[in-house]
Amino acid sequence: MNEELDDILSRPPKGLVRWGTLALLGICLFLLVGTRFIRYPEVCKGSIVVKFVSAKASDRARALEGEATFSIRYISKLRIGQRVNIQLNAFPVEEYGQWTGTIRELRPGLRPNECQATIAIGKGQRLVQLIEQLPFRPYLTGMAHVVVRNETLFSQLLSGLVNY
């Protein structure tokens, strides 16, 4: 009896092995195909200081401009005209949302391992109104995010395999 039990336990059922292997292969194939549809952007993060600028001395409308500092490793990926998402510390994202701008100018930073960008903040009229309600005009600091590469997860995995 002991030998029969050992014999049964030592041989896995053939059907279970076949269907289990097929199910595992199907799940792997499903995940691989799914990575073709999942976006995985590469984001460059930096700090930003927002200030008022006026277009003309006679013009009363005030515009907003930001000075952003990024790591030097992204200098080859940053371009003039790229969209920048701005989150300000004084105005939480959960309540006020985030603002957008575009890179207007790129230049070397004050430190050797950084670069600076001038950001033109578009449609900042709501932000101007919020700032004017404050008791004083502080330097508004926050985070600037630039999407430098927006590829699918599959293409990033494939490029990692091809480069090796």
How distant is the alpha carbon of residue 123 from its chain centre? 21
Q: Output the six-digit token pair for 59.
A: 């013009």
pTM of the predicted protein model:
0.68
pLDDT, tens digit (0-9, with 9 covering 90-100), for 37-91: 888 888 999 999 988 776 555 454 567 788 999 998 888 889 999 999 999 888 8
Instruction: Assess whether pLDDT exceeds 90 at residue 27.
Output: yes
pLDDT, tens digit (0-9, with 9 covering 90-100), for 93-129: 888 888 889 999 998 888 888 899 999 887 656 777 7
Q: What angle do CA 89, 39, 21 make, to 5 degrees?
A: 135
CA distances from 140 to 15, 66, 91, 136, 147 (A): 66, 9, 9, 11, 22
- pLDDT band at residue 1 under the 50/70/90 scheme: low
